Amino acid sequence: MKTKQTLLAVILLLGIGITSCKKEKIRGCTTSSADNFKSNAEEDDGSCQYSGRYVFWTASVVGSERADVFLEGAFIGAVANAFTSAPSCGATGALTVEKSWTGSATKSYSISIDVYDSGGAFVGTVPSTANFTAKTCTSREL
């Protein structure tokens, strides 16, 4: 009888030991559009980081016309060159901005555009938003 009890106790302990040795899930960023995507992650840990680019451009510029662009209140540059179609990010003469963020694959930023006429006089400010998308270049004609 004692042998049966001992055998039962050993089986029980082995069963508990086997089930309590669960493999811990690999944690990390599970969103493929994130800069720090971890392909072997089984559980998202909220660490995803994203980046995207935005190119600002215009189709017509006369004389000294220009547009100064502000992102979240900070001056990021002026657009004073004309393009016949949307330029790619980083194109010479276009204003390309890269941003990094956390949270989700898209991020909205407030922008404002100060417009100047061909005589260099301030015409007005146009408020708007720029919606950045991870791993993409978004084009915006001013």
CATH code of the domain in which 88 resides: 2.60.40
Top-confidence residue, 7 or 99:
99
* Entry pTM: 0.74
Within a domain: 127: yes
CA distance 90 to 113: 20
CA distance 65 to 44: 49
Structural domain span for residue 110 = 51-141
Tokens (6 digits) for 114: 């100060």
Residues forming beta bridges with residue 66, ordered by sequence position: 116
Other CB atoms within 10 Å distance of the CB of residue 75: 11
Within a domain: 39: no
- Residue pair 58/141 in contact by the 8 Å Cβ criterion: yes
pLDDT in tens, 21-31: 567 888 999 99
- Compute the mean pLDDT over every residue in the chain, rounded to the nearest whole number: 85
Within a domain: 10: no
pLDDT in tens, 46-56: 999 999 999 99
Tokens (6 digits) for 122: 């301030």
pLDDT given for residue 118 in this prediction: 81
Residues forming beta bridges with residue 101, ordered by sequence position: 50
Total tally of structural domains belonging to the chain: 1
pLDDT given for residue 3 in this prediction: 63
What does DSSP assign to residue 93?
A: T
What's the chain's length in residues?
142
- Residue pair 57/141 in contact by the 8 Å Cβ criterion: yes
